[in-house]
Structure 1
Amino acid sequence: MTSNYIADSNDWPRLPALEDWQDTCTTLHMWTQIIGKIRLALSPNINHGWGSTLYITTRGLTTSPIPYGKFTFAIDFDFIAHVLRITTSQGTDRAFMLEPMPVAGFYRKAMEALAQLGIEVKIFARPVEVEVAIPFEEDTQHASYDADAVSRFWHALVHADNVFKDFRARFIGKVSPVHLFWGGFDLAVTRFSGRTAPKHPGGAPNVAKRIMEEAYSHEVSSAGFWPGTGLGEAAFYAYAYPTPAGFDKYPVQPEAAYFHDKLGEFILPYEAVRTADHPTQALLSFLQTTYDAAATLAHWDRLALERNIPST
């Protein structure tokens, strides 16, 4: 499997150990939840939560345009200038610096900036998919911002986004956009077999069971990238729902990939990709072979769902 994306090992940034930027990672995660919830509150309800996600840009992350009355607005994290910027189709804007500040302070600044632009919005102002859900207005515990660590993580997301989009293009069945879910703070892409799935049992912390049931209403093979909270290091992951028999024993590539019994997913450490002779190919092999595991073992109609892209 080849790709037009040619970033080599020198281009993929070295990430700090998670423990060294955990405070910043958690703070940034909470900030993205605030912005994501604003999009969720004002955008059309697209299936599987796709109407609330964030997207990678050439400078950071964006909500993409959000409808509001007679105009639209977008909220962007700029991880080059380290600014949060809100722009509208009316030509107005507001911005403030991304710097060490409590989640409560970020929440207040974001809401004040929106109000100054004539945008009123109410959100469920507490985080999801985390064990300890401190309301945003009360969270003075998380207040770190290491600009270098954030920049490195964003550049890793840029590379992952490009490879995921290449992989996504090889599927002609229903497939998600490549997007960042602010709940789990992970960049993800999901393929669908077209068949309905058993009702999901739920279990994600601080997430209503009905949300999980809708997210996994249909059979999927999903892959993504996240900082590694709960694992200890940044990593790529892949899973299937429902999980077919033998999935955990299926041979996948590259050699550094393994099945994590507790998480119930295949894992490929980010560092193994970054230091590979050909990082893009290493990641594509992981995406392809873990999908092979799901599609083969669950008997997907692969001839109808896959695009045959010739080697180059």
Structure 2
Amino acid sequence: MGTTETFRAGSAWPRLRVDDWTETRETLHMWVQIVGKVRLAHAPLLNHWWQVAFYVTPRGLTTSAVPYGSGAGARAPAGVFDIEFDFVDHMLRLRTSDGGARSIALESMPVADFDARVLRSLDELGVPTTIQDHPNEVESTVPFSTDHQHHTYDPLAAQLFWRQLLQAERVLSAFRSSFVGKVSPVHFFWGAMDLACTRFSGRRAPVHPGGAPNCGDWVMVEGYSHELSSCGFWPGGGDEGAFYSYAYPEPAGFADSPVTPPEAFYSRQNGQFLLPYEAVRTADDPDRTLSGFLQSTYAAAADGAGWDRAALETDPERWADR
């Protein structure tokens, strides 16, 4: 990593330049895809693939509880397991509801070694798992089991990224609270490595054309089956990552809608509004700056598409005086 910055108490919105952790980010991306595919192998399908996502925790990222052991040939009684990336102690922790536990140190190692250790640990815990042995939504097609190219883990960079996610998750959760229509959790998708929250109008959407690299078009058809406005954070799109907001289908005039803050812009290359993370981090009031971006871009999508906002929105403080 090219910076000597360390996390200090009080620096809630940490600085992490995208170019300073490229090798670690690419390795970590493959690691989270492996663990994500473990969850995919066991969890029943939920709409829009919500069952595959991770969640931000006080120490890192977790799969949350995943069911296992109920199919034919199961080696253990039905139960649940979880896997957590602990970016404080830099451990991958695997736990089962029968008391089993394994840990793998998060340190520089080839993706192939990480893959083998995760699958071996699951087997030892009585949760044998077979996953699709290649990544999705990235250009690389190198199988995890033979990937020795990606092998770098900088613990400081990983921790700073997690702290970016902590702040993003906190503000996104507050934004989510004012919507009573169908809305996703604030969750981390390992395909593109982004934290996301998605609101829905309640109407069906046109069939999505697909086109994500190394990802079947049918995956996108499920993900975008209903009209939506989505926002989140991803470690790209700016010097220090970017917040994003888009609509599907995109209503007429969306790209030209006035949004805040002034640093926000519509990227025609990406088909979405972007707000550089550094514009939030350096703002006098980061929470208010990000909230303004989330609300103004959502309003552009909802108003442009004619959503019934009166029925879909609420005041999260409605019981505050009770």
What range is the shorter-chain TM-score in?
over 0.9
Deviation of the 1:308 alpha carbon: 2.8
How many corresponding residue pairs?
303
Contact 1:83 1:97 in 2 (8 A): yes
Partner residue in 1 for 2:248:
241
Alpha-carbon separation, structure 2, partners of 1:233 and 1:196: 35
* Secondary structure of residue in 2 paired with 1:225: strand
Structure 2 equivalent of residue 257 of structure 1: 264
Say whether residues 1:196 and 2:204 are aligned partners: yes
Matches within 5 A, 1:200-279: 200-228=208-236, 233-279=240-286
What is the SS of the residue equivalent to 1:137? helix
Contact 1:176 / 1:189 at 8 angstroms: preserved in 2?
yes
> Does the residue aligned with 1:221 lie in a helix, a strand or coil?
strand
Q: CA RMSD in A?
A: 1.5
Residues 1:90 and 1:9: Cα distance change in structure 2 (over 3 Å)? closer
- Of residues 289, 297, 307, the one that matches 2:296 is 289
SS at match of 2:129: coil
Alignment of 1:1-312 (within 5 A): 10-15=11-16, 17-69=17-69, 70-228=78-236, 233-309=240-316
- What SS does the aligned partner of 2:298 have? helix
Give the 3 Å change call, closer, same or farther, for CA 10–232 of structure 1 in structure 2: closer
Q: Please report how far the alpha carbon of residue 243 of structure 1 lies from its aligned counterpart in structure 2 after TM superposition.
A: 0.5
Distance 1:204 1:9, change over 3 A: farther
CA contact (8 A) 1:9 1:274 kept: no
| Partner residue, 2:5 | none
Off by >6 Å, runs of 4+ in structure 1: none
Identity, % of aligned positions: 54
Distance 1:74 1:113, change over 3 A: same
Amino acid at match of 1:131: E
CA contact (8 A) 2:260 2:292 kept: yes
Shift, 1:200, TM fit: 0.5
- Tell whether the 8 Å contact from 2:239 to 2:278 is kept in structure 1 after alignment: no
Q: Distance in 2 between matches of 1:309 and 1:59?
A: 27
SS of 1:292's partner is helix
Give SS of 2:35's match.
helix
User: Mind listing any 5+ residue stretches in structure 1 that lack a counterpart?
Assistant: 1-7
The secondary structure found in structure 1 opposite 2:252 is coil
Task: Confirm or deny: 8 A CA contact 2:94 2:102 kept in the other structure.
Answer: yes
Q: Distance in 2 between matches of 1:277 and 1:232?
A: 19
Would the aligned equivalents of 2:15 and 2:240 in 1 still touch at CA under 8 Å? Answer: no
**TM-score, normalised by the number of residues in structure 1:** 0.94
Match of 2:6 in 1: none
Structure 2 stretches of 5 or more lacking a match? Answer: 1-8, 70-77
CA contact (8 A) 1:9 1:276 kept: no
Task: Report Cα offsets for 1:67-104 as digits up to 9, x if no partner.
Answer: 11222110010000000010111111000100000110
The amino acid across from 2:11 in the alignment is N
Cα distance in 1, alignment partners of residues 263 and 271 from structure 2: 17
The Cα offsets for residues 223-251 of structure 1, whole Å up to 9 and x where unpaired, read as 010110x6554000000000011111100
Q: CA deviation at 1:309?
A: 4.2
